[in-house]
Amino acid sequence: MSWQVLRLKKHDTRIGSKQPEYFDVRQGLWHDSYRSYRCRPYRGSGQADNYDKSFLHVPCQLFIERPLSVYGYNACGRFFQFGKNNRWGYFPSAAVGWRVSEEAFLKDVDWLSNLKIRGSWGQTGNDKIQDNVSYALVSMVDEYHAVFNGQVYPGVGIVNASNPDIKWERSEQVDLGFDLGLFNSMLTLEFDYFNRKTKDLLMILPIKGGSVGITPTYSNAGSVRNSGFEFTVAWQDNRHPFNYGFTFSGSTFKNEVTDWKNQKTISTAWSTNLQTAKEEGKPFGYFYGYKTQGIYHTQADLDRWNEYARSKGADVYHSEAQLGDLIYVDVDGDGRITAEDQTDLGNPYPKFTGSLGFNASWKGFDLYLDFTGSFGGKVMNNSYNDFTSVTNNMHRDWCDSWTPENPDAVMPRLAGGSINVGRTLDIMVFDGDYLKLRPSELGYTLPDEWMNKIGIGRLRIYVNASNLLYFTKYKGFTPEIMDGQDSNTYPMAGSVNFGLNLTL
């Protein structure tokens, strides 16, 4: 059984005589509710109620010669995901802008087409968790049973931890920027700075001390900050027989965990066995594993590193190492390789992404090019780890793997269960930089006088291509990976097309 109510109220009042000036108020109410019942073949039943309520209030003021200001708030209630004391989330926002170029002291500046300064601040909430996390649920548990008079009776027990204090995950973002137009807007510039802080992250933490048979539940723990700059520079000159223009846009990005309760959380992907980690001062989900420094090419290499271990008071440098294996780096300096030597292997988030577009036209010819690129991010190539035996070595680099007959090989030996497989290693982490020509098109429009003679309005012939050029040193199919983990992702196909546009 479910029902939904939506109410929206709007007030619109004009202020002054100029058409662009207005005062706008919008108020709304959303209310979702549903109830479900469930019964099972054995004794027991369940009932659940869920209510979602939202209120929205957004007043807006705009004056053509004065600053623009917008403010509002959004109140949302979740009656199933969160505890009774934290069901409501209140998310205010505000924005202000000033069109400086409309002020009297800049009216006579001919080369200044537009100058606007703007800023905004706002909060949003996240409730993407499963229901009932604020309650301790009971269920049939095979281990919990009792025997009376020779008869076995089933028992119930708590199966998940409760958290009555669970609340909304909250993000707060500040944006500052300006718009600039020069020379009758032939040259334009947009620049923005953003800083987004997310706190009370909804995450599952292990239960301290351990509780047999109880599943950990969500908690509000940790905070993350995302910040960077965005810009767009454009030039368009249409004053001459040869018209041209370009647009250059880019964005910097920095991600940092600012609070993680003084712990390090290591996550292992079930399909690849590759590790990422989260801790304070590091990017969220950075690659985590062992650094290496070459291969044990000969027995002399093994002996030399074991001698180093003894100089540090250890018996052996790496107890599992054999000839042809990778030499792990002793990060903590204790003379032996342990799990404590795992470290930061790279950041999956690119430091800069951008694009460059160019257009030109001359005497019926027209050209368009669009380059895009990403720089500063790392990609973990799973094809380097995607083997568990000599029958599943998927990357061609493994053709130069170590064998007794090839002791000077670049890659380690191929052997299932060795220290070269099933672990996150730096040899599978690569630079994800790339630059590619995305769409491009060259066309020619026949002169009108030619078309008039044969009774045709317009005819344009063109050839276009997609993903025609690709520049990268990445060894996989493509470095364009959303989370930085490449499990043999298929690349975007290139294409070339010919065509014409005909207008009668």
* pLDDT at 204 > cutoff 90: no
pLDDT computed for residue 17 by the predictor: 41
**Nearby residues of 426 by Cβ (< 8 Å), 6 or more positions away:** 289, 290, 291, 292, 345
Cα Rg, the chain, nearest whole Å: 31
Region 146-169 average pLDDT: 80
Q: For 450-468, what is each residue's pLDDT tens digit?
A: 888 888 888 999 999 999 9
Region 246-268 average pLDDT: 94
* pLDDT at 65 > cutoff 70: no
pLDDT computed for residue 266 by the predictor: 92
- The DSSP result for 295-315, as a single string, is E--SHHHHHHHHHHHHHTT-S
pLDDT computed for residue 391 by the predictor: 54
Residue 226 or residue 165, greater confidence: 226
**By 3-state DSSP, what share of the chain in percent is helix, strand and coil, each rounded to 5?**
10, 55, 40
Indicate the burial class of 324 (C-beta count within 10 angstroms; 0-12, 13-18, 19 or more): buried
Q: Are 269 and 484 in contact (CB under 8 A)?
A: no
**Nearby residues of 303 by Cβ (< 8 Å), 6 or more positions away:** none
* pLDDT at 499 > cutoff 90: yes
The length of the chain is: 504
* pLDDT at 41 > cutoff 70: no
* pLDDT at 385 > cutoff 80: no
Residue 162 or residue 377, greater confidence: 377
What letter would DSSP give residue 489?
Answer: P
pLDDT computed for residue 210 by the predictor: 52
Q: What is the 3-state secondary structure (H, E, C) of 376-429?
A: CCEEEEHHHCCCCCCCCCCCHHHHHECECCECCCCECCCCCCCCCCCCCEHHHE
pLDDT computed for residue 295 by the predictor: 97
> On the CB side of 284, how many CA atoms lie within 13 Å of its CA?
18
Region 94-98 average pLDDT: 92
* pLDDT at 52 > cutoff 60: no
Determine the Cα–Cα distance for residues 496 and 469; give it in Å rounded to an integer.
12
3-state SS, residue 205: coil
* pLDDT at 61 > cutoff 80: no
Closest by CA to 321, choosing from 430, 405, 395, 402, is: 402
Residue 312 or residue 49, greater confidence: 312
Banded model confidence at residue 38, pLDDT cuts 50, 70, 90: very low
In the chain, domain spans? 2-252
Report in angstroms the alpha-carbon separations of 26 from 7, 116, 483: 11, 26, 39
* pLDDT at 490 > cutoff 70: yes
pLDDT computed for residue 471 by the predictor: 96
